[in-house]
Amino acid sequence: MAQGVVKNPDEQVVLGEEIGNVRLVTLNRPRQLNVISSKVVSLLAEYLEKWEKDDQAKLVIVKGVGRAFSAGGDLKMFYDGRNSKDSCLEVVYRMYWLCHHIHTYKKTQVALAHGITMGGGASLMVPLKFSVVTEKTVFSTPEASIGFHTDCGFSFIHSRLPGHLGEFLALTGARLNGKELVAAGLATHFVPSEKLPELEKRLIGLNTGDEIAVKSAIEEFSEDVQLDGQSVLNKQSIIDECFSKETVAEIIKSFEAEAGKEGNGWIGPVLKGLKKSSPTGLKITLRSVREGREQALAECLKKEFRLTINILRAIISADIYEGIRALTIEKDNAPKWDPPTLDKVDDDKVDLVFQPFGEDLELQIPENENCRWDGKYENSAYATSQELVLQQSSDG
């Protein structure tokens, strides 16, 4: 094991194993549903950079322990930092920078995404060359509902889904199961969960990153996907009709009109969730996904970085903290949004969270392939200004 045996379990949030030409990453916080903390991000980045540069490493497998692959970002971390300016800036910077490297990774990657795979957690599955899901996989991007936005590259991913499915998933946080993920193109293979350990052994035994060999091995275990008749993916025409509308208010109005029609009982619960969501989060998310259609991956991640930092700074609303409070801290599920309704969310205010930062304060994503692991947080203007502050306080 690359990081050795560490007695303190806090230090084993990510395990990295080197087996022949195969590298195995295990997200190891089962009690916390493998949420992504700053330690998780740092270890993932460290392993992935090391292995991309290692000629002996041919195949990287990513999996989670327990009933989740990864439930996404550590919301408690964001909440605990609410009174300290930019307390989470470093982890956000590192995560989005890492997302770019996962999308563009030079070695063959396989995600074994069993169980809960949500938000930022899904960014460790969807971009990989091969992503294996099971009957227990549950995917969603529910960030807008708590006053946040669809991040970790999902303004890029969702904007490229068929029709307006991306807007639907981003605004409603609707869940997709394993078979639906394959049908939507968000995963590559469906394998029954009881076969997953055997598949993992088979991939390790291959000892190669040859894509044809890896694909062939996965297909020995995978099953063809047949969608349930009630799957939301069979409702694409309604989704396109409603979620193509220009504004969130028009989308909701159109969705309400469809809800009254015979056979559309599935819309009611989705609509209820949509109406309970943060108006600010919904408006930011819709615009971000729509902009994503015209943006390259690097542009999407830079934009998402700005949005996240401005949302955490509460420059137009503190809904993110109210949303986390209601969902995970006090768990009353009764958030009090500010502004409380869509018509009170000023579009000029929404413009503010999209404003570019100064060039040196943007997420630094290297354009030159020869320097692709440049742009790290520790070399950013944020880190150097922090060092300056610490230096001045120690001098004082």
Active site residues: 73, 120, 143, 151
C-alpha torsion sign, points 215, 219, 222, 225:
positive
DSSP assigned state of 330: S
As beta bridge partners, residue 112 has: 63, 132
CA–CA gap between residue 31 and residue 38 (Å, rounded): 17
CA–CA gap between residue 94 and residue 104 (Å, rounded): 16
CA–CA gap between residue 296 and residue 293 (Å, rounded): 8
Q: Which of 154, 108, 101 is nearest to 130 (CA)?
A: 108
Specify the amino acid at residue 249: A
For the residues of 258-285, what is the DSSP string, one character each?
A: HHTSTT-TTHHHHHHHHHHS-HHHHHHH
Which tokens sit at 232? 């939301």
For the residues of 344-370, what is the DSSP string, one character each?
A: GS-HHHHHHHHPPPPGGGS-----SGG
CA–CA gap between residue 264 and residue 286 (Å, rounded): 23
231 φ, ψ to 5°? -55, 140
